[in-house]
Amino acid sequence: MVHVGIGYDVHPLVEGRKLILGGVEIPHTRGLDGHSDADVLMHAICDTVLGALGEANIGHFFPNTDPRWRGAPSKIFLEEAARVAGLREAKLINIDATVIAQAPKIFPHVQEMKFNIARALGINLQRVGIKATTNEHLGFIGREEGIAAMAVASVDLPQA
């Protein structure tokens, strides 16, 4: 039976941090603030996979109060979501995600992001879609105060 999950994440942009999206370090004047590497794209994808499985969100598995996850690469979170899916004998059908950022330009990095995400989830590259859009200079994203990502996953989960 096919299950669908939705994921969303947002982090503020701050000075003195690297900008990591989809496991790719993107040249920019600021990076995302958070307990881990603050990769909003991987976080949203992690939540969508966990949601499709009927599991709790990323914060339940990797609480920001746990020092083990300080500065951790978010691929660890995706690998764990894939492990949980495997324990449930679930098959990840596809991931579709959108990064919402006024700057920098995301498109030049999409292929590498897709590769990193597919590898962390153990799925074929063609099963990962990533798009990017701006917020047309509206709101905190439009003022370049933060970056958000949203994602959806389809997961074939055997009936219990």
Q: What is the pLDDT of residues 54-81, one digit of tens each?
A: 999 988 888 888 888 888 999 999 999 9
Q: Is the pLDDT of residue 4 over 70?
A: yes
In this prediction, what percent of the chain has a pLDDT beyond 70?
A: 99
**Structural domain tally of the chain?**
1
Query: What is the residue range of 22's domain?
Result: 2-156
120-148: b or e for each residue (b if 16 or more CB lie within 10 Å)? bbebeeebbebebebbeeeeebeebebbb
Q: Exposed, middle or buried: residue 89 (CB in 10 Å: 0-12, 13-18, 19+)?
A: exposed
How many Å apart are CA 124 and CA 70, to the nearest integer?
29
Tokens of 41: 């794209």
Report pLDDT for 159.
Answer: 82
In this prediction, what percent of the chain has a pLDDT beyond 90?
A: 88
The domain that holds 109 is classified in CATH as 3.30.1330.50
Q: Is the pLDDT of residue 115 over 90?
A: yes
Report pLDDT for 160.
Answer: 67
Tell me the torsion sign for CA atoms 52, 56, 58, 62: negative
Q: Is the pLDDT of residue 18 over 80?
A: yes
Q: Which of 74-78, 96-100, 156-160 comes out lowest in average pLDDT?
A: 156-160
**Predicted TM-score (pTM) above 0.75:** yes
Q: Is the pLDDT of residue 43 over 90?
A: yes
pLDDT-derived band at 118, boundaries 50, 70, 90: very high
Strands 24-26 and 31-32: unpaired
